[in-house]
Each structure stands twice: as structure tokens, then as C-alpha cells.
A and B are shown apart, each in its own frame.
Chain A
């Protein structure tokens, strides 16, 4: 199953920092999708919060590659992403589905170096 190809990576476990793109390519307070090997990863520049987030682009509701096109926001101080298809929301910190009991999404660490955006993976 395609959902199994995504697994949360924590900062400590990163073995590869993938140089995704220059930060000017990413919309402010919105998302864009990057490709790493066969993975689609949604990356968000939550400028208001001053944080970058990354998660799987796949929405676990209907298994479509769409999360990068959703809207970001926060709920009780926690950053979240709302899927553009049916507005299910997921925490960008823990990946947890906030408005229901869908499976959690995988999240990935992001770092910025010399104006480039890097996403962390375990290979």
C-alpha cells in the first residue's frame, strides 16, 4: 500500500538531508510539493510562525497526492494542514488527524541553509 511508503523521520535519525529547492520557490504561508526518489513530500513555509514543516503529500483519507495544495493554519496553537479535498486536518507537528480518527500522516524535519530548503530522510 502506498501509505506505507511514508514514515515519520525525527531530527536525530536523519541520515540524508535532501537539498530540495531555493526558499524563494516556496509560497509564504502555503505549501509546495517536492519529489525525493519516489516520494512526494509537501513542504510548508509557515512564515507567520517562523517555522517550516514537511509531511507526506498523500492524504490518508482518499489516498490522493494533494496535501501540499491545502491551507495551513493553527488550532490551539498547533500548526495544521487542511486537505483541499474534504478539509480533514492534520497536525504538522505530530501528523495526527485533528478532526477525526484517520491514520496519522508522516512528518519530516526541514532545515534552511544558505537560503536552500533541506528535508531530512532516513535512507
Chain B
């Protein structure tokens, strides 16, 4: 049996193992892997997600047991310190020796730390490993307790630097990105796109400083600032260096393998180093005089090495390597592919720029207009997938190449590209895993996989950076169509129906219980996906409260309160339109004080009281109801708040009484359950202080009536609502919105808000106008009636709960003891309290 020793258990080292054991011949080899890091290989590309959840396990590429199952000896926390090429053995830092027949260097790279004076100071970090992140988090946390508004700088405005910028912002520090070049992402972007990106980033709160050469890091022991010379400096409390990478070729140097002048282990197209028994792959390998700082080329190298070792000699590395990238910074799309900017003698560029929207797109086309050479997209990279495909597959361009970026899109017209299904079978769709279009389609057509999830499981497509998921979704859909199968928006394994279909079934068959519905048209015993969907349908049809079938409700609905991170709950009474009397304020204050609740004004113009224990909820609500309050349904997929501005009642510009209207409409829709939550806004004039256009429905008073808007939201993907009617009177305005909401409730998918629903509605806003204003489907009478029935049957579900002994009984932590949950702990915060930190 031959032995393969792999040095480095990073992304590429792991991929080598995965690809190797997938070959039947691998049974003849013993594989031993050394990793310097204390944990098994993880997804470095999504390192930043660790900030959100601190869940290291979720990042693992495979659990430790995977290595055992495949008979791989994994030795973590062990640095390989030397290689003896004569005896073909390696020595580890702890002094053990292992012999090899073949050695794989997958040692990756380390962050490059420029020789600036002061980089050793406390508070200066690099960004590469989970440990780096943990150190940064701990430091940031301490900083925040020491001073107000601490600042963190990132040295380097490249791909990684910007990601680090977002990360420190998420940690609650004021982010500053410092770049030596005069523009951001100098390697991928031209000056104009860089400017667009800079503006967008500044808008989300990241400060950008370009053309700054850092001379010195200032501070006594701990960093306090950066010095740029000529009296120019920046005060910062923390610094993350992201100034490029250096291949970790120290081992290779020590045993005299060929390395490049600027580092990296020289390899040939077989991934062999100057010693044919030693291969180098990933970020340590210098191929074609280049280091490739991306996973996809590393994975290809792993594939080549596996094949070479198993004597499949015709698999070699391509000579040109695709370095296209898409930034995964949340909130801003940035992508570049092929030749992002290019001298005029090679081709021509077509540029589209829209400063108001923060969009810049550039494509570079050959002189004859036939081929795509590369491009840049900032602000809108939706078409990156397909453009990138056209580029790597050398596909012919349409006659009017500009349509690729300005589009013949929009109403009615399809896009200029045709569809993914027109790509050649060899087109690589998932570049991380090198999966072609042909493989994806085969997986559907020949192997019977019917969902993106199944295809991902079978082929691994889309499991890397995830950037290709939209294309895979389209391919799965199109392939199913060729089989004559329609793609069903199936709710889950228990109901082979879309929400809309189930809605109709419940209504026409008059089903009233979840169990009956499951027996009638479902399979099996249900799950956490279909239960709340069905609960929402019952609520929309019968206006039944969450109290009746409590175990099919989402946890928040089941207890009529929002669960908080420590298992306590929040209490949010309705404050329609945001109008509240001093007397009500005092009552709320008194009750909050009595139960020691943390109080805060919410973003929805009302008051949230946090930290109530389960058994306290009915007690608190009993008192609130006594004072005249009702539930605010902050826990439900239902109407939340209707935000108002003060309007003509007080405001000198007001055109109408926005508060009165907001209260009226909030009381009209309160309690109505829907596929997702919905919110409203009413502004007294076009200054729009109530942000009505940022809501699912909105009214704005204008000269001569109300303008009516629908389909907006804030949140992660903000959308402005669209105008459906102008200058109408209040009654008409309400009627249109009634119909809009009812139509949405009946036809949307689960957890789809009005904006994405409208987006997917064929014909868009014009179609919607036709349905609800011109009655093109002949359904408005029905919609009106259904809405009125909901409005008329409203009841406060908390009142119902506190008055019904069986429901009240649900509010106890233990059913066999009156004790409280001793696991809940609070700490004090600015004269109030908060949950103890998660361990």
C-alpha cells in the first residue's frame, strides 16, 4: 500500500481528499493529512458568516467522522516542520516522522503584512482564520465597553478588505477602508465603476479613504491611529490588515524545491513541483507565474493532482485560468469577469452608468462585435451568471450587444440572452465544483432529481460560493419542462400543492382542521413548514385566531408573543397610527415597571416591552386589556403597523389628516393573517415623512385626494411601492387596497411579501391595476366581500386567551411544577435589563 501525505487541511487540501477517495483506485493508498489549525477544514470563503452566528460547525466542509469513514488519518493542530526528500519523509513540530510515496503541499497562503512600523501593536489583526475572527470579536467587544463609537480601519480596499469592512461594521464599529491605490478594488474595477461602488458603500456607512500610503501605526502599545505622512492621519481603535496574500512556501524553500521570486511553489501543468513526487495545489502553487487567490482554480488543481497520481495522465491544468469574481458583500453587487478593462486596440467597451441608482455596467466586446472579452458590473449583477457564461463559452453575441447591459428587458420583452438552457452542455455552471450544464440537466432528466436541493446533493453543484444557484434553479425548471413536468411550487413533502392551490382546496372543501386537510389531500404527518402555512390559510378564510389550533402555529403565534434570544417574550400592544394618549403611556409605563420589562420605541412607531417570562404573559395582558389595549400582532404574519406622519392636524405643509387615516386603516386591517407580514404608511404630503412608499401599502395626500401605492418594503431588500391610483378619495383608496391585500393573501407563496409577489406577478403593476380597478378577472365583488368578512370578524386574541382558562394554562414553563426556568439570566443595561450574552 502506498502512502500519500497531504500537508494542509484547508479548502483545497480537503477537496483533494474528497476527490481522491471518490476514485475506486484510491483503496490502494493510505492518506494522511496534517492541518496546522486546531479544527477540520472549513469554508474560508464564507468566513464572514461566522460573525452572524458564531457557529464554527456550520462552516465545516465535512465533519471529522467523514475522514474516519473514508479511512483518512487526519492529524489536526500539527505543523509539518520539515521535508526530507531523500528519505521521502516529513517531520512534524511535535517531532514525529512519517514517510510518503507522494506528498501534496496544500499549505495555502497567509495574509501579507506590509513592513509598516507599529504593525505589532495591540488591536492590529489579519483576517484569515476562525481564530483571527474570534480575536477580533473579543477585542471589538471590549472596545465597545470602553468608548463610544469606536472606529476600525481596514488596510486594503480589495475584495477581501471590503468584506472585512462590512464585517467590522456588523461588529458595531465605525468602518474605514484605507486603500493605497486611487480607487477601490484596483485589480477588478475601472475608475468609474470604482467611484460608483465607493458612493454606494459610503451610503451604507463605510468610510473610504483612497490614495493613502500608511507610514506608521500610532499608539502606545495599542493602536490609536494611522499616520499617512504630511500631517494626514486617521484616528482608529482597531486595524485589520488585508493587503494581499503571500503563499506559504516556507516548507518548500527549506527543502530546496523551486519557488518563484515573489514566492509560491513552481508547478507544471500536472501540478508537480520540481520534485516529481511532490505536488503543490491551491494558493501555495505558482502556476504560469501566477498565484490564484480563489477557490475554483484550487479545486481544479486538486482534480488534476488526483488524476495524475492515479496515472490518468491526460488530465492537466488549462493554460488560461478564469479569475472572474462576484463579491458577496451584502447589499452591493459587484462582479467582474474576463478582461475587466482593456486597451482600445483589443476591442471596444459599452458602458452604462446610472448614478442615481448606483449602477455601472461595462462590457468589452471584440472589434468585430462578435465576442465578449470581459466586463464589470456594480450595483446590479443579476446578469453576471449568464454574461460570464457567454464569456467563458465564447458564445456569439446578439446584434445589438448593448442590449446585454441596458436590456430589451422591462415590460413584456424577454431578456437579450435567451435562457440558460441555450448554453452548450459543456458550459461550466458551478465553477467552484466544476459542474457543467450537461451534468445538471442529466441529474434532472436521467437521474430523476426534481429540486435544486436534490440536484445539489447529487452533483454538489451550487454548494461552493452559491453564486450559480439562480442559474441552477432555471436549469432545473427548464429540464423538468422538457420532461413534460411542470414545476410545482410544492409546499413541502407533505403537500404536493402550492399555497394558492391549498387555499382554494380549504375554501371549496370547507376544511377546518389541519389533521383533516392532511388526511384529505396530504401525505404523512406534517412538519414545521406546512403547519404554519395551513394555519395562515385557516386564519385568512375563517379569521380564526391562533388560539384554536395552537400546535400548528409558529412558536410566536402559539404563545401570541415574540420569543427573544433567551426564551423570554416581548409584549407589543397596538398603538394604531402611532397615536397614544398620556394616560395610555402612563399605564404602559406602570405595567412595564411592575413586571420589570425592558422598554423601547420600535421602528414601527409603538412600544415594545421585552423580557417577559412565559407565565407572566397572561398577567401582563390582563392588565393591558383592562387599560383598553389590544394585541399588536407583532408576532404574526399579519398587519403590523400603519406608520403616520402628523399631517394637516399640526403640520404647516399637511394636505390632509394622515393620522386619522392611518388609525382608521390600521384598525380596519388589524388581526388579518397573510402569507407574510404587511405594513402600511400614510403621509400628509409628498415630503413623505411616514415613509409610506417603503411599506406594503401607502397613501400620500396630494392636492385633490390621495395617491395610492402598493408593494413596497424596507428590510434586507428595500423596494419602493408603486403608484396604482392618483388623487382618489379616501373610500376609493381603501377599496383598492382592500382588493390588493385580499388578492395577495389568496395567491402569494408562503413567506412572500407583497413586493416579491408583485415582481413575480406576470404583467406586473399594469396587470394588478386591471384586476383590482378595472375588474378584468371579474373577482372584485368577491374580494370586497371576503375583506369585509375579515374586518367584521376581528377579535383580540389576547382577550380571548386571558378569558379562557384552558388557553391560559398553556402559559407555564413546566407542566409539572410551578418553578421558573432558572436558566434565564439577565444583566443590567443603562438602568434597564437585557439577556445575558450567549456563551
Contact = CB atoms under 8 A, between A and B. Distances in A.
A33 B813 contact: yes
24 contacts: A21-B815, A29-B552, A34-B816, A35-B819, A40-B814, A40-B821, A48-B518, A64-B566, A64-B567, A64-B823, A65-B823, A66-B563, A66-B567, A73-B527, A73-B528, A73-B529, A75-B527, A77-B524, A82-B528, A85-B565, A85-B567, A87-B528, A101-B60, A101-B63
B463 to A, nearest CB: 14
A70 interface: yes
Contacts of B529: 73
Given A35-B816, A48-B515, A64 B565 contact: yes
B555 interface: yes
Given A30-B550, A34-B816, A62-B565, A101 B527 contact: no
Contacts of A76: 493
B525 A73 contact: yes
A112 B474 CA distance: 51
A85 B814 CA distance: 19
B619 interface: no
Given A40-B821, A63-B839, A71-B554, 4 more contacts: A40-B823, A48-B525, A48-B526, A65-B567
A61 B52 CA distance: 13
A54 interface: no
Contact of A74 (B57, B524, B556): B524
A80 B838 contact: no
B815 A71 contact: no
A27 B823 CA distance: 23
B551 A30 contact: yes
Main secondary structure of the interface of B (DSSP, over half): loop
B555 A34 contact: no
Contacts, number: 107
B460 interface: no
B706 interface: no
B817 interface: yes
Contacts of B567: 64-66, 85
A89 interface: yes
B290 interface: no
B810 interface: yes
Contacts of A82: 527-528
Interface string B89-131: 0000000000000000000000000000000000000000000
A17 to B, nearest CB: 14
B621 interface: no
Interface string A27-62: 111101111000010000010110000000010011
Contacts of A79: 525
B563 A85 contact: yes
Nearest to A71: B528
B185 to A, nearest CB: 33
Interface in B544-562: 550-552, 554-556, 558-559
A69 B814 contact: no
B822 to A, nearest CB: 8
Given A28-B551, A35-B819, A69 B528 contact: no
Nearest to A60: B57
Contacts of B60: 101
A47 to B, nearest CB: 9
Contacts of A35: 814, 816-817, 819
B216 interface: no
Interface string B41-74: 0000000000000010110100100000000000
Contact of B559 (A58, A61, A69): A69
A6 interface: no
Contact of A84 (B555, B815, B816): B555
B531 interface: yes
Contact of A27 (B515, B526, B550, B566): B550
Nearest to B835: A64
A95 to B, nearest CB: 15
A84 B563 contact: yes
A27 B493 CA distance: 24
A73 B817 CA distance: 27
B582 to A, nearest CB: 37
Given A20-B816, A63-B839, A71-B554, A100 B528 contact: no
Contact of B815 (A34, A46, A77): A34
